[in-house]
Amino acid sequence: MKFRNGLDSLLRPEDSVLVLIDHQPYQLANLNSHDPHMVVNNTTALAKCAKVFGVPTILTTVVAARGGNIFPHVTEVFPGQEVIDRTTINTWEDPKVVDAVKATGRKQLIIAGLWTEICVAMPAIQAAGEGWDVTVITDASGGTSVEAHEVAIQRMIAGGINMMTWLALASEWQRDWARAETANTLNDALRDHVGGSAIAYIWEQQLLNTPVPAAAV
């Protein structure tokens, strides 16, 4: 087994491409591995982070006429962007999606979608076998059961696929808070999507911006 380690193994925004797969109402309705609200939150956060770092993002659905459109929370991050609608269950068998990914010239392929055991596992395993450096964002994905999600993750790890969460990915892309060109806009995304830490950050800003009262005479 080849271990993933060393600085070069970390994800870089300039080498990354993101594919968001089947974040649709039908799939969400039978999501049982995670709180649906959290998956919507995490997927939206992932989309916003990709935009902050200029990571090309491909949006795709399967038979949207029946399964519904991608969550508006996601499409609003990329206004006017085409959503590639497929008939193939395995996204990596759709030439239009694969061509869009290849056109970016990037080899760090990041995938999130619904459901983990089907619409994420199949393209991830196929792409990894074709030489792509594949990472799955587990908390912006989800399965029809906890078991389905966890077994799919084990299956993909066995296939050499990297697992991360959206916040870990954002941190890896940022890498250094001295990178001011992305630090402020990343903080905006974190403020909206990381719950308690976000509220603590807002409180900190309130305290820092509150004038010290003049000493009583």
Is residue 31 a contact partner of residue 117, using CB atoms and an 8 Å limit?
no
Angle at 187 between CA 186 and CA 188, to 5 degrees: 90
Cα–Cα nearest to 170, from 141, 200, 135: 135
Q: Phi and psi of 33, rounded to 5°?
A: -90, -20
Question: Residue 135, Cα to own-chain centre: how many angstroms?
Answer: 10
Q: Where are the alpha helices (DSSP H) in 130-195?
A: 146-158, 166-174, 180-193
CA pair distance 162, 96, nearest whole angstrom: 24
Catalytic residue among 21, 39, 49, 119: 119
49 classed as catalytic: no
Q: Phi and psi of 79, rounded to 5°?
A: -60, 135
Residue 176, C-beta contacts closer than 8 angstroms, at least 6 positions apart: none
Q: What are the structure tokens assigned to 157, written together?
A: 């790890």
Positions marked active-site = 119
